[in-house]
Amino acid sequence: MILFETSSSAFEILWDIALALFIIRIAFVYFLLSFTSGAIVVYFRLAEIMPLHHLTQPQSELTTLSIWLLAVTLWARYTIVAYQVPRVGGFRLAIGALATVFMLCAELVGGVVLYEKGYMAWIWKSDSLAAGLGVGSLCLYAVLPWLLMKVEQETDEMGETYHGHQNKPIAAAVPTVAVTEKSQQNGKKHI
């Protein structure tokens, strides 16, 4: 009988684990889509935009930042819709924060490995305006799923009922189940 006495806490723990895996999976998909589109934007910036327009590194970063932010906004919306994330601020902030942790890890690994001189030279050679906008864009990236919740409209399930029983009391909206009450409603006497 100990199993039945502790089963509610076991179910709560399993529910918390499932919820954590749900958030981790969605955050990783959001990160993966955003990182892939960011890598594509950076490739075209280095291969096409910088050589053709004779831009320096900070100027080209500022040029492509708007394209990246637009792509990230579209991926955030796609992720929210595809996984049917509820309109709960905590879920959406957790998804954005975890995706930002994934993004920061990828940025740091990419910056240190690709720069080949260590992280100190990579940090000190960065332009302060581009670095500040990069930090700002990562903060926006973290809260974007939550901000989309503020832009979305309320659905029928949240705002009002959609079955036509808005103004009825519960007794009138829910059909009677007991046999004696049914026969009284129909005008028959129950034997």
Tell me the per-residue pLDDT of 98-136, one tens digit each, with 9 for 90 and over: 999 999 999 888 777 776 665 666 566 666 777 788 889
CA-atom Rg of the chain in angstroms: 27
Q: Is the pLDDT of residue 160 over 50?
A: no
pLDDT at 126: 66
Asked, for residue 73, whether it belongs to a domain, the answer is: yes
Q: Is the pLDDT of residue 1 over 50?
A: no
Mean pLDDT value across residues 183-191: 61
Nearest Cα neighbor of 141 from 83, 85, 91, 71 is 71
Asked, for residue 82, whether it belongs to a domain, the answer is: yes
pLDDT at 144: 95
Whole-number Å distance between alpha carbons of 133 and 41: 16
Asked, for residue 16, whether it belongs to a domain, the answer is: yes
Asked, for residue 143, whether it belongs to a domain, the answer is: yes
Q: Which domain holds residue 38?
A: 8-158
pLDDT at 172: 58
Q: Is the pLDDT of residue 188 over 70?
A: no
Asked, for residue 175, whether it belongs to a domain, the answer is: no
Distances (CA, A) of 68 to 29, 42, 88, 140, 183: 16, 9, 26, 12, 67
Residue found under tokens 């864009």: 137
How many domains does one find in the chain? 1
In which band, very low, low, confident or very high, does the pLDDT at 7 lie, cut at 50, 70 and 90? Answer: low
Asked, for residue 2, whether it belongs to a domain, the answer is: no
Asked, for residue 1, whether it belongs to a domain, the answer is: no
Q: Is the pLDDT of residue 41 over 60?
A: yes
Asked, for residue 85, whether it belongs to a domain, the answer is: yes
